[in-house]
Chains A and B, each alone.
Chain A
Amino acid sequence: MAEKHGKLEEVRLTTPVSTEAIAGLKLGQVVYLDGVVYTGREGVYQRILDEGLAPPVDLKALSNVNFHCSPAASVAEDGTCNVGAVTATASFRFSKWMARWFEVSGARVIIGKGGMAEAYYKSVFVPAGAVYLVTVGYGTGALLGRGIKRVRAVHWLEELGIAQALWVFEVENFGPLLVESDAAGNSLFESHNRALAARIEGLYEGLKPPALHRYGETDDRKDELI
Protein backbone atom coordinates (compact mmCIF):
# COMPACT_ATOMS: atom_id res chain seq x y z
CA MET A 1 0.00 0.00 0.00
CA ALA A 2 1.19 3.50 -0.76
CA GLU A 3 2.83 5.09 2.27
CA LYS A 4 0.57 8.12 2.42
CA HIS A 5 -2.37 5.86 3.25
CA GLY A 6 -3.05 4.86 6.85
CA LYS A 7 -2.60 1.16 7.52
CA LEU A 8 -5.87 -0.55 8.39
CA GLU A 9 -5.94 -2.88 11.39
CA GLU A 10 -6.06 -6.61 10.55
CA VAL A 11 -7.86 -9.37 12.46
CA ARG A 12 -7.79 -13.13 11.89
CA LEU A 13 -10.88 -15.10 12.97
CA THR A 14 -11.57 -18.83 13.22
CA THR A 15 -15.02 -20.39 12.72
CA PRO A 16 -17.26 -20.78 14.55
CA VAL A 17 -16.57 -17.15 15.39
CA SER A 18 -16.88 -16.73 19.16
CA THR A 19 -19.11 -14.23 20.94
CA GLU A 20 -15.98 -12.57 22.37
CA ALA A 21 -14.39 -12.22 18.94
CA ILE A 22 -17.59 -10.70 17.55
CA ALA A 23 -17.80 -8.25 20.44
CA GLY A 24 -14.23 -7.11 19.76
CA LEU A 25 -14.71 -6.19 16.09
CA LYS A 26 -14.34 -2.52 15.15
CA LEU A 27 -15.73 -0.79 12.04
CA GLY A 28 -13.24 -0.70 9.19
CA GLN A 29 -11.01 -3.52 10.49
CA VAL A 30 -9.74 -5.93 7.85
CA VAL A 31 -10.76 -9.53 8.59
CA TYR A 32 -9.37 -12.86 7.33
CA LEU A 33 -11.20 -16.10 8.16
CA ASP A 34 -10.10 -19.69 8.80
CA GLY A 35 -12.50 -22.62 9.07
CA VAL A 36 -15.80 -23.31 7.35
CA VAL A 37 -18.05 -20.90 5.47
CA TYR A 38 -21.28 -21.81 3.71
CA THR A 39 -23.22 -19.97 1.02
CA GLY A 40 -26.93 -19.25 1.23
CA ARG A 41 -29.07 -16.65 -0.53
CA GLU A 42 -32.70 -16.33 -1.73
CA GLY A 43 -32.92 -19.88 -3.08
CA VAL A 44 -31.81 -21.42 0.22
CA TYR A 45 -33.84 -18.97 2.34
CA GLN A 46 -37.01 -19.63 0.34
CA ARG A 47 -36.70 -23.39 0.69
CA ILE A 48 -35.91 -23.42 4.40
CA LEU A 49 -37.83 -20.39 5.71
CA ASP A 50 -40.75 -20.05 3.28
CA GLU A 51 -41.32 -23.67 2.25
CA GLY A 52 -40.33 -25.16 5.59
CA LEU A 53 -37.84 -27.71 4.27
CA ALA A 54 -35.25 -29.06 6.68
CA PRO A 55 -31.73 -27.73 6.02
CA PRO A 56 -29.74 -30.28 3.99
CA VAL A 57 -26.99 -30.26 6.61
CA ASP A 58 -26.82 -29.41 10.34
CA LEU A 59 -25.90 -25.75 9.91
CA LYS A 60 -25.49 -25.05 13.62
CA ALA A 61 -22.84 -27.76 13.84
CA LEU A 62 -21.21 -26.71 10.58
CA SER A 63 -20.38 -23.03 10.99
CA ASN A 64 -21.88 -19.72 12.07
CA VAL A 65 -20.69 -17.86 8.96
CA ASN A 66 -23.15 -17.43 6.08
CA PHE A 67 -21.76 -15.98 2.84
CA HIS A 68 -24.17 -14.22 0.43
CA CYS A 69 -22.43 -15.56 -2.59
CA SER A 70 -22.48 -17.85 -5.53
CA PRO A 71 -19.25 -19.06 -7.03
CA ALA A 72 -18.05 -19.19 -10.61
CA ALA A 73 -17.85 -22.96 -10.53
CA SER A 74 -18.53 -26.08 -12.52
CA VAL A 75 -19.34 -29.57 -11.30
CA ALA A 76 -18.04 -32.55 -13.27
CA GLU A 77 -20.06 -35.73 -13.93
CA ASP A 78 -18.24 -37.48 -11.07
CA GLY A 79 -19.23 -34.70 -8.66
CA THR A 80 -15.83 -33.01 -8.38
CA CYS A 81 -16.06 -29.23 -8.20
CA ASN A 82 -13.95 -26.63 -9.94
CA VAL A 83 -14.36 -23.36 -8.04
CA GLY A 84 -12.67 -20.46 -9.83
CA ALA A 85 -13.70 -17.23 -8.20
CA VAL A 86 -16.17 -16.37 -5.45
CA THR A 87 -17.75 -12.95 -4.98
CA ALA A 88 -20.54 -11.65 -2.82
CA THR A 89 -23.98 -10.64 -4.02
CA ALA A 90 -25.93 -7.63 -2.68
CA SER A 91 -27.33 -8.51 0.75
CA PHE A 92 -30.07 -5.91 1.18
CA ARG A 93 -32.38 -8.11 -0.91
CA PHE A 94 -32.26 -10.80 1.79
CA SER A 95 -33.03 -8.65 4.80
CA LYS A 96 -36.61 -9.89 5.09
CA TRP A 97 -35.33 -13.37 5.98
CA MET A 98 -32.45 -12.59 8.36
CA ALA A 99 -34.30 -12.48 11.71
CA ARG A 100 -35.65 -16.01 11.27
CA TRP A 101 -32.46 -17.15 9.61
CA PHE A 102 -30.39 -16.28 12.67
CA GLU A 103 -32.75 -18.46 14.77
CA VAL A 104 -32.88 -21.42 12.41
CA SER A 105 -29.25 -21.50 11.30
CA GLY A 106 -27.39 -20.13 14.29
CA ALA A 107 -25.48 -17.82 11.91
CA ARG A 108 -23.69 -14.95 13.67
CA VAL A 109 -21.53 -13.59 10.86
CA ILE A 110 -22.99 -12.55 7.52
CA ILE A 111 -20.59 -11.90 4.65
CA GLY A 112 -21.91 -10.07 1.60
CA LYS A 113 -21.97 -7.05 -0.65
CA GLY A 114 -23.36 -3.62 0.20
CA GLY A 115 -24.36 -4.32 3.79
CA MET A 116 -27.81 -3.65 5.21
CA ALA A 117 -29.43 -0.63 6.85
CA GLU A 118 -28.01 0.53 10.18
CA ALA A 119 -31.52 0.54 11.67
CA TYR A 120 -31.81 -3.10 10.63
CA TYR A 121 -28.52 -4.02 12.29
CA LYS A 122 -29.78 -2.49 15.50
CA SER A 123 -33.19 -4.18 15.35
CA VAL A 124 -32.24 -7.61 13.97
CA PHE A 125 -28.48 -8.21 14.09
CA VAL A 126 -27.75 -6.89 17.58
CA PRO A 127 -30.44 -9.01 19.36
CA ALA A 128 -29.06 -12.08 17.56
CA GLY A 129 -25.46 -11.19 18.44
CA ALA A 130 -24.61 -11.02 14.75
CA VAL A 131 -22.33 -8.79 12.68
CA TYR A 132 -21.85 -8.07 9.00
CA LEU A 133 -18.54 -8.35 7.13
CA VAL A 134 -18.38 -6.86 3.66
CA THR A 135 -16.27 -8.18 0.81
CA VAL A 136 -13.89 -5.73 -0.83
CA GLY A 137 -14.00 -4.14 -4.27
CA TYR A 138 -16.38 -5.33 -5.21
CA GLY A 139 -14.97 -8.22 -7.02
CA THR A 140 -11.94 -9.62 -5.21
CA GLY A 141 -13.17 -12.95 -6.56
CA ALA A 142 -9.74 -14.36 -7.33
CA LEU A 143 -8.34 -13.51 -3.87
CA LEU A 144 -11.36 -15.05 -2.15
CA GLY A 145 -11.13 -18.05 -4.48
CA ARG A 146 -7.54 -18.60 -3.33
CA GLY A 147 -8.78 -18.71 0.25
CA ILE A 148 -11.01 -21.72 -0.48
CA LYS A 149 -8.94 -24.80 0.26
CA ARG A 150 -11.61 -27.40 -0.39
CA VAL A 151 -15.26 -27.69 -1.33
CA ARG A 152 -16.58 -29.93 1.44
CA ALA A 153 -20.04 -30.31 -0.06
CA VAL A 154 -22.58 -28.71 -2.35
CA HIS A 155 -26.22 -29.19 -1.37
CA TRP A 156 -29.35 -28.68 -3.49
CA LEU A 157 -27.31 -28.36 -6.66
CA GLU A 158 -29.96 -30.17 -8.68
CA GLU A 159 -32.84 -28.14 -7.26
CA LEU A 160 -31.26 -24.68 -7.20
CA GLY A 161 -28.42 -24.71 -9.73
CA ILE A 162 -24.80 -23.65 -9.26
CA ALA A 163 -25.53 -20.02 -8.39
CA GLN A 164 -28.15 -20.66 -5.68
CA ALA A 165 -26.97 -24.00 -4.24
CA LEU A 166 -25.69 -24.25 -0.66
CA TRP A 167 -21.90 -24.59 -0.96
CA VAL A 168 -19.75 -25.57 2.01
CA PHE A 169 -16.20 -24.22 1.76
CA GLU A 170 -13.19 -25.01 3.93
CA VAL A 171 -11.27 -21.74 4.00
CA GLU A 172 -7.87 -20.46 5.05
CA ASN A 173 -6.85 -16.81 5.24
CA PHE A 174 -10.14 -16.05 3.47
CA GLY A 175 -10.35 -12.34 2.74
CA PRO A 176 -9.92 -9.47 2.76
CA LEU A 177 -13.24 -8.56 4.41
CA LEU A 178 -14.12 -5.31 6.16
CA VAL A 179 -16.12 -4.96 9.37
CA GLU A 180 -19.27 -3.17 8.16
CA SER A 181 -21.41 -3.60 11.29
CA ASP A 182 -20.18 -4.01 14.86
CA ALA A 183 -21.76 -5.61 17.93
CA ALA A 184 -23.61 -2.35 18.66
CA GLY A 185 -25.14 -2.28 15.17
CA ASN A 186 -23.18 0.69 13.80
CA SER A 187 -22.64 0.74 10.03
CA LEU A 188 -19.37 1.72 8.35
CA PHE A 189 -21.23 2.56 5.11
CA GLU A 190 -23.76 4.79 6.82
CA SER A 191 -21.04 6.64 8.70
CA HIS A 192 -19.42 7.41 5.32
CA ASN A 193 -22.79 8.27 3.77
CA ARG A 194 -23.37 10.80 6.55
CA ALA A 195 -19.98 12.36 5.85
CA LEU A 196 -20.84 12.59 2.14
CA ALA A 197 -24.34 13.95 2.70
CA ALA A 198 -22.93 17.30 3.78
CA ARG A 199 -21.46 17.83 0.31
CA ILE A 200 -24.41 16.71 -1.78
CA GLU A 201 -26.40 19.93 -1.85
CA GLY A 202 -23.36 21.86 -3.02
CA LEU A 203 -22.90 19.53 -5.97
CA TYR A 204 -26.35 20.40 -7.33
CA GLU A 205 -26.04 24.12 -6.66
CA GLY A 206 -26.84 26.19 -9.74
CA LEU A 207 -28.18 23.22 -11.73
CA LYS A 208 -31.84 23.86 -12.53
CA PRO A 209 -34.21 20.91 -11.86
CA PRO A 210 -35.70 19.07 -14.86
CA ALA A 211 -39.04 20.24 -16.29
CA LEU A 212 -40.78 16.91 -15.66
CA HIS A 213 -40.48 15.18 -12.29
CA ARG A 214 -40.58 11.44 -11.89
CA TYR A 215 -43.58 10.00 -10.09
CA GLY A 216 -42.72 9.48 -6.44
CA GLU A 217 -39.37 11.23 -6.79
CA THR A 218 -37.80 12.49 -3.59
CA ASP A 219 -35.71 15.61 -3.48
CA ASP A 220 -33.86 14.52 -0.35
CA ARG A 221 -30.70 13.03 -1.74
CA LYS A 222 -29.45 12.16 1.74
CA ASP A 223 -32.06 9.38 2.10
CA GLU A 224 -30.78 5.81 2.30
CA LEU A 225 -32.10 3.73 -0.58
CA ILE A 226 -32.06 0.25 0.89
Chain B
Amino acid sequence: MIPKALIEETAAQLMATAAIEIPADYLAGIRAMTAAEEGDLSAFVLNAMLDNWDAASEDRRPMCADTGLPRYFVKAGNEAVIEGGFVALEEALRSATARATREVPLRPNRVHPLTRRHNDDNVGINAPEIEVSFEPEADWLDITTVHKGGLFGTDYRMLFPGDGVDGIKRFFLDTLIAFGRRGLACQPAIVGIGLGGSKDVCMTLGKQAACLRVVGDANPDPEIAELEAELKELGNSIGMGAMGFVGSSMVVDCHIEVGYTHTGALPISVHCFCLSSRRAVARIHADGSVETRTDPKWFTPYMRRDTVTWPKSTESSRKSG
Protein backbone atom coordinates (compact mmCIF):
# COMPACT_ATOMS: atom_id res chain seq x y z
CA MET B 1 0.00 0.00 0.00
CA ILE B 2 1.39 3.40 -1.01
CA PRO B 3 0.74 5.90 1.82
CA LYS B 4 -1.08 9.13 0.98
CA ALA B 5 1.38 11.19 3.06
CA LEU B 6 4.30 9.81 1.02
CA ILE B 7 2.57 10.84 -2.23
CA GLU B 8 2.08 14.38 -0.94
CA GLU B 9 5.65 14.69 0.34
CA THR B 10 7.12 13.30 -2.90
CA ALA B 11 4.94 15.53 -5.06
CA ALA B 12 5.86 18.69 -3.10
CA GLN B 13 9.56 17.89 -3.52
CA LEU B 14 9.06 17.30 -7.25
CA MET B 15 7.47 20.74 -7.55
CA ALA B 16 10.62 22.34 -6.12
CA THR B 17 12.94 20.27 -8.31
CA ALA B 18 10.97 21.12 -11.45
CA ALA B 19 11.01 24.85 -10.67
CA ILE B 20 14.71 25.04 -9.77
CA GLU B 21 16.70 22.46 -11.75
CA ILE B 22 16.96 22.35 -15.51
CA PRO B 23 16.63 18.73 -16.75
CA ALA B 24 20.01 17.29 -17.87
CA ASP B 25 18.78 16.25 -21.33
CA TYR B 26 17.52 19.76 -22.10
CA LEU B 27 20.69 21.37 -20.71
CA ALA B 28 22.89 19.17 -22.92
CA GLY B 29 20.73 20.07 -25.91
CA ILE B 30 21.05 23.81 -25.24
CA ARG B 31 24.83 23.54 -24.73
CA ALA B 32 25.15 21.91 -28.14
CA MET B 33 22.95 24.58 -29.75
CA THR B 34 24.95 27.37 -28.11
CA ALA B 35 28.17 25.96 -29.55
CA ALA B 36 26.61 25.88 -33.03
CA GLU B 37 24.89 29.29 -32.85
CA GLU B 38 26.38 31.92 -35.21
CA GLY B 39 24.13 34.86 -34.23
CA ASP B 40 25.78 37.14 -31.64
CA LEU B 41 22.56 38.17 -29.87
CA SER B 42 21.05 34.68 -29.95
CA ALA B 43 24.30 33.26 -28.53
CA PHE B 44 24.33 35.96 -25.83
CA VAL B 45 20.82 34.93 -24.79
CA LEU B 46 21.74 31.25 -24.62
CA ASN B 47 24.84 31.97 -22.55
CA ALA B 48 22.75 34.10 -20.18
CA MET B 49 20.35 31.16 -19.81
CA LEU B 50 23.26 28.84 -18.95
CA ASP B 51 24.35 31.35 -16.26
CA ASN B 52 20.76 31.57 -15.06
CA TRP B 53 20.44 27.82 -14.55
CA ASP B 54 23.66 27.82 -12.52
CA ALA B 55 22.32 30.69 -10.40
CA ALA B 56 19.00 28.92 -9.82
CA SER B 57 20.71 25.73 -8.75
CA GLU B 58 23.25 27.50 -6.48
CA ASP B 59 20.67 29.75 -4.80
CA ARG B 60 17.85 27.17 -4.79
CA ARG B 61 15.53 29.71 -6.41
CA PRO B 62 13.20 29.13 -9.38
CA MET B 63 14.84 29.44 -12.83
CA CYS B 64 12.00 31.61 -14.04
CA ALA B 65 9.47 33.62 -12.06
CA ASP B 66 6.63 32.62 -14.33
CA THR B 67 6.46 29.19 -12.78
CA GLY B 68 3.77 28.28 -15.29
CA LEU B 69 0.73 26.18 -14.62
CA PRO B 70 1.81 23.43 -12.23
CA ARG B 71 0.16 20.10 -13.09
CA TYR B 72 0.60 16.37 -12.74
CA PHE B 73 0.81 13.30 -14.93
CA VAL B 74 0.33 10.08 -12.99
CA LYS B 75 1.06 6.61 -14.30
CA ALA B 76 -0.36 3.95 -12.04
CA GLY B 77 0.64 0.34 -12.23
CA ASN B 78 -2.41 -1.85 -12.66
CA GLU B 79 -1.57 -3.54 -9.36
CA ALA B 80 -0.66 -0.37 -7.45
CA VAL B 81 -2.64 0.11 -4.25
CA ILE B 82 -3.01 3.63 -2.93
CA GLU B 83 -4.05 4.38 0.62
CA GLY B 84 -7.46 5.98 0.29
CA GLY B 85 -7.64 5.22 -3.43
CA PHE B 86 -7.49 7.64 -6.35
CA VAL B 87 -9.52 10.30 -4.58
CA ALA B 88 -6.82 10.41 -1.90
CA LEU B 89 -4.18 10.65 -4.64
CA GLU B 90 -5.92 13.71 -6.08
CA GLU B 91 -6.23 15.29 -2.67
CA ALA B 92 -2.53 14.67 -1.95
CA LEU B 93 -1.50 16.29 -5.26
CA ARG B 94 -3.74 19.33 -4.69
CA SER B 95 -2.35 19.71 -1.20
CA ALA B 96 1.25 19.38 -2.48
CA THR B 97 0.55 22.09 -5.07
CA ALA B 98 -0.66 24.57 -2.45
CA ARG B 99 2.26 23.73 -0.16
CA ALA B 100 4.92 24.05 -2.84
CA THR B 101 3.44 27.35 -4.04
CA ARG B 102 4.05 28.77 -0.56
CA GLU B 103 7.34 27.03 0.21
CA VAL B 104 9.40 27.17 -3.03
CA PRO B 105 7.82 29.78 -3.65
CA LEU B 106 6.01 29.37 -6.97
CA ARG B 107 4.06 32.23 -8.46
CA PRO B 108 0.35 31.73 -7.70
CA ASN B 109 -0.64 32.01 -11.35
CA ARG B 110 -4.00 30.26 -11.25
CA VAL B 111 -7.03 32.54 -11.39
CA HIS B 112 -10.70 32.18 -12.32
CA PRO B 113 -10.91 33.01 -16.05
CA LEU B 114 -13.71 35.57 -15.72
CA THR B 115 -13.59 37.00 -12.23
CA ARG B 116 -9.78 36.62 -11.93
CA ARG B 117 -10.46 35.43 -8.37
CA HIS B 118 -7.65 33.31 -6.94
CA ASN B 119 -6.76 31.23 -3.92
CA ASP B 120 -3.10 32.32 -4.11
CA ASP B 121 -2.04 28.67 -4.07
CA ASN B 122 -2.35 27.42 -7.69
CA VAL B 123 -5.37 25.32 -6.74
CA GLY B 124 -8.83 25.98 -8.11
CA ILE B 125 -11.55 24.64 -10.38
CA ASN B 126 -9.90 22.01 -12.62
CA ALA B 127 -6.50 23.05 -11.30
CA PRO B 128 -4.00 21.51 -11.08
CA GLU B 129 -4.76 19.17 -13.97
CA ILE B 130 -4.11 15.57 -12.97
CA GLU B 131 -3.94 13.14 -15.90
CA VAL B 132 -3.82 9.45 -15.07
CA SER B 133 -2.63 6.63 -17.30
CA PHE B 134 -2.10 2.98 -16.49
CA GLU B 135 0.63 0.40 -16.94
CA PRO B 136 0.05 -3.36 -16.95
CA GLU B 137 2.03 -5.76 -14.75
CA ALA B 138 3.28 -3.05 -12.39
CA ASP B 139 2.60 -2.06 -8.80
CA TRP B 140 4.38 1.31 -8.65
CA LEU B 141 3.11 4.84 -9.05
CA ASP B 142 4.95 7.30 -11.33
CA ILE B 143 4.33 10.96 -10.57
CA THR B 144 5.50 13.58 -13.05
CA THR B 145 5.04 17.27 -12.50
CA VAL B 146 5.28 19.76 -15.35
CA HIS B 147 5.10 23.54 -14.97
CA LYS B 148 4.57 24.84 -18.48
CA GLY B 149 4.10 28.50 -19.27
CA GLY B 150 0.68 29.16 -20.62
CA LEU B 151 0.46 32.04 -23.07
CA PHE B 152 2.41 31.50 -26.29
CA GLY B 153 3.85 28.88 -28.60
CA THR B 154 0.86 26.58 -29.00
CA ASP B 155 -1.67 26.36 -31.81
CA TYR B 156 -4.17 23.91 -33.30
CA ARG B 157 -5.52 23.49 -36.82
CA MET B 158 -7.82 21.10 -38.61
CA LEU B 159 -6.01 19.98 -41.75
CA PHE B 160 -7.29 17.37 -44.18
CA PRO B 161 -5.71 14.18 -45.56
CA GLY B 162 -4.99 15.90 -48.91
CA ASP B 163 -2.97 18.60 -47.11
CA GLY B 164 -0.54 15.86 -46.07
CA VAL B 165 3.02 16.47 -44.96
CA ASP B 166 3.05 19.83 -46.82
CA GLY B 167 0.21 21.01 -44.60
CA ILE B 168 2.00 19.74 -41.51
CA LYS B 169 5.20 21.57 -42.46
CA ARG B 170 3.36 24.82 -43.23
CA PHE B 171 1.51 24.82 -39.94
CA PHE B 172 4.70 23.93 -38.08
CA LEU B 173 6.48 26.90 -39.71
CA ASP B 174 3.48 29.19 -39.12
CA THR B 175 3.45 28.41 -35.40
CA LEU B 176 7.20 28.69 -34.88
CA ILE B 177 7.55 31.94 -36.83
CA ALA B 178 4.45 33.58 -35.33
CA PHE B 179 5.42 32.82 -31.73
CA GLY B 180 9.17 32.79 -32.29
CA ARG B 181 9.27 36.47 -33.22
CA ARG B 182 10.29 38.57 -30.23
CA GLY B 183 10.92 35.25 -28.50
CA LEU B 184 7.37 34.83 -27.23
CA ALA B 185 7.70 31.03 -27.51
CA CYS B 186 10.73 31.18 -25.17
CA GLN B 187 12.72 29.16 -27.69
CA PRO B 188 14.79 27.12 -28.34
CA ALA B 189 12.18 24.66 -27.20
CA ILE B 190 11.27 21.02 -27.24
CA VAL B 191 8.49 21.15 -29.82
CA GLY B 192 5.70 18.62 -29.43
CA ILE B 193 3.28 17.81 -32.22
CA GLY B 194 -0.02 16.03 -31.89
CA LEU B 195 -1.30 14.43 -35.08
CA GLY B 196 -4.75 12.92 -35.35
CA GLY B 197 -7.07 11.80 -32.62
CA SER B 198 -10.18 13.79 -31.90
CA LYS B 199 -9.57 17.54 -31.45
CA ASP B 200 -9.05 17.45 -27.71
CA VAL B 201 -6.84 14.36 -27.89
CA CYS B 202 -4.81 16.03 -30.66
CA MET B 203 -4.04 18.87 -28.25
CA THR B 204 -3.32 16.50 -25.39
CA LEU B 205 -0.93 14.35 -27.46
CA GLY B 206 1.04 17.38 -28.66
CA LYS B 207 1.31 18.78 -25.15
CA GLN B 208 2.46 15.42 -23.81
CA ALA B 209 4.96 15.01 -26.69
CA ALA B 210 6.52 18.38 -25.75
CA CYS B 211 6.50 17.95 -22.00
CA LEU B 212 6.88 14.22 -21.40
CA ARG B 213 9.59 13.15 -23.86
CA VAL B 214 13.26 13.99 -23.41
CA VAL B 215 15.75 15.57 -25.81
CA GLY B 216 17.30 12.80 -27.92
CA ASP B 217 14.27 10.51 -27.79
CA ALA B 218 12.81 9.32 -31.11
CA ASN B 219 9.39 7.85 -31.85
CA PRO B 220 9.74 4.05 -32.24
CA ASP B 221 7.82 4.21 -35.55
CA PRO B 222 10.58 4.88 -38.13
CA GLU B 223 8.27 6.88 -40.40
CA ILE B 224 7.29 9.21 -37.56
CA ALA B 225 10.90 9.41 -36.36
CA GLU B 226 11.94 10.54 -39.82
CA LEU B 227 9.34 13.31 -39.83
CA GLU B 228 10.49 14.37 -36.35
CA ALA B 229 14.06 14.76 -37.62
CA GLU B 230 12.92 16.58 -40.75
CA LEU B 231 10.80 19.07 -38.82
CA LYS B 232 13.59 19.72 -36.32
CA GLU B 233 15.90 20.61 -39.18
CA LEU B 234 13.23 22.74 -40.84
CA GLY B 235 12.65 24.68 -37.61
CA ASN B 236 16.34 25.36 -37.19
CA SER B 237 16.65 26.58 -40.76
CA ILE B 238 14.13 29.42 -40.36
CA GLY B 239 16.99 31.77 -39.60
CA MET B 240 15.62 32.59 -36.17
CA GLY B 241 17.29 31.96 -32.84
CA ALA B 242 16.67 32.70 -29.17
CA MET B 243 14.33 35.69 -28.55
CA GLY B 244 13.62 35.83 -32.28
CA PHE B 245 17.06 37.26 -33.04
CA VAL B 246 18.79 36.18 -36.23
CA GLY B 247 20.28 32.75 -35.62
CA SER B 248 19.61 29.02 -35.80
CA SER B 249 18.52 27.96 -32.29
CA MET B 250 14.82 27.26 -32.51
CA VAL B 251 14.07 23.57 -31.94
CA VAL B 252 16.07 21.57 -29.37
CA ASP B 253 14.13 18.50 -30.37
CA CYS B 254 10.88 17.65 -32.09
CA HIS B 255 8.55 14.93 -30.83
CA ILE B 256 5.44 13.69 -32.62
CA GLU B 257 2.67 11.59 -31.10
CA VAL B 258 -0.21 10.23 -33.13
CA GLY B 259 -3.74 9.05 -32.50
CA TYR B 260 -6.08 7.34 -34.94
CA THR B 261 -8.37 10.03 -36.32
CA HIS B 262 -11.46 10.56 -38.50
CA THR B 263 -11.00 9.26 -42.04
CA GLY B 264 -11.63 12.74 -43.45
CA ALA B 265 -9.37 14.61 -41.02
CA LEU B 266 -5.75 15.45 -40.24
CA PRO B 267 -5.88 17.55 -37.06
CA ILE B 268 -2.55 18.96 -35.86
CA SER B 269 -1.37 20.74 -32.74
CA VAL B 270 2.05 22.31 -32.14
CA HIS B 271 3.37 23.05 -28.64
CA CYS B 272 6.61 24.73 -27.57
CA PHE B 273 7.92 23.82 -24.13
CA CYS B 274 10.03 26.72 -22.88
CA LEU B 275 13.60 27.62 -21.93
CA SER B 276 12.90 26.37 -18.42
CA SER B 277 11.34 23.03 -19.49
CA ARG B 278 10.24 22.27 -15.94
CA ARG B 279 9.62 18.57 -15.41
CA ALA B 280 10.48 16.20 -12.58
CA VAL B 281 9.54 12.58 -12.00
CA ALA B 282 9.42 10.13 -9.11
CA ARG B 283 8.51 6.46 -8.92
CA ILE B 284 6.97 5.37 -5.64
CA HIS B 285 7.37 1.63 -5.23
CA ALA B 286 4.95 -0.61 -3.36
CA ASP B 287 7.50 -0.93 -0.52
CA GLY B 288 7.52 2.85 -0.04
CA SER B 289 10.92 3.48 -1.63
CA VAL B 290 11.14 6.50 -3.94
CA GLU B 291 13.37 6.99 -7.01
CA THR B 292 13.57 10.32 -8.79
CA ARG B 293 14.45 10.97 -12.45
CA THR B 294 13.79 13.48 -15.23
CA ASP B 295 12.47 11.17 -17.98
CA PRO B 296 8.72 10.69 -17.51
CA LYS B 297 8.73 7.46 -19.61
CA TRP B 298 5.10 8.32 -20.31
CA PHE B 299 4.78 6.86 -23.80
CA THR B 300 5.26 3.18 -23.05
CA PRO B 301 4.49 0.48 -25.64
CA TYR B 302 1.20 0.03 -23.77
CA MET B 303 0.36 3.74 -24.24
CA ARG B 304 0.97 3.45 -27.98
CA ARG B 305 -0.89 0.13 -28.43
CA ASP B 306 -2.72 -0.01 -31.76
CA THR B 307 -4.91 -3.10 -31.47
CA VAL B 308 -7.19 -4.60 -28.85
CA THR B 309 -4.24 -6.22 -27.15
CA TRP B 310 -0.73 -4.89 -26.50
CA PRO B 311 2.92 -6.01 -26.41
CA LYS B 312 3.31 -8.11 -23.27
CA SER B 313 6.33 -7.73 -21.01
CA THR B 314 9.01 -10.37 -21.56
CA GLU B 315 10.13 -10.07 -17.94
CA SER B 316 8.40 -12.40 -15.51
CA SER B 317 7.21 -9.41 -13.52
CA ARG B 318 7.77 -5.68 -13.43
CA LYS B 319 6.65 -5.54 -9.84
CA SER B 320 8.98 -3.97 -7.35
CA GLY B 321 10.10 -5.53 -4.05
Interface size, A (range):
35 or more
B236 to chain A, nearest CB (A): 12
Query: Complex formed: what's the CA distance from A114 to B67 in Å?
Result: 18
Interface string of A184-199 (1 = CB under 8 A from B): 0000110011011001
Asked if residues A139 and B162 are in contact (CB atoms below 8 Å), the reply is no
Which residue from chain A places its CB closest to the CB of B39 in the assembled complex? A5
Q: A87-B65, A162-B107 are in contact. Are A192 and B246 (CB under 8 A)?
A: yes
B71 to chain A, nearest CB (A): 17
Asked if residues A142 and B181 are in contact (CB atoms below 8 Å), the reply is no
Query: Complex formed: what's the CA distance from A207 to B166 in Å?
Result: 5
Q: Say yes or no: is B274 at the interface (Cβ < 8 Å to chain A).
A: yes
Query: Complex formed: what's the CA distance from A204 to B173 in Å?
Result: 8
A93-144 residues with Cβ-Cβ distance < 8 A to B are: 113-115, 134, 136-144
Interface size, B (range):
35 or more
B150 to chain A, nearest CB (A): 11
Which residue from chain A places its CB closest to the CB of B237 in the assembled complex? A203
Q: Which of A30, A84, A189 interacts with B62 by CB under 8 Å?
A: A84
Q: A8-B41, A136-B48, A137-B275 are in contact. Are A142 and B61 (CB under 8 A)?
A: yes
Interface string of B50-70 (1 = CB under 8 A from A): 011101100101111111000
B101 to chain A, nearest CB (A): 8
Q: Which residues of B contact A14 (CB under 8 A)?
A: none
Query: Complex formed: what's the CA distance from A89 to B103 in Å?
Result: 23
Which applies to chain A's interface (DSSP): helix, strand, loop or mixed?
mixed
Q: Which of A142, A162, A204 interacts with B52 by CB under 8 Å?
A: A142
Q: Which 5 A-B residue pairings sit nearest by Cβ, starting from the closest?
A: A139-B64, A142-B56, A74-B105, A87-B65, A142-B55
Q: Residues of B at under 8 Å CB distance from A?
A: 19, 34-35, 37-38, 40-41, 43-45, 47-49, 51-53, 55-56, 59, 61-67, 101-109, 111, 118, 120, 151-152, 157-160, 162-163, 166-167, 169-171, 173-174, 177-178, 181-184, 186, 234, 237-240, 242-246, 274-276
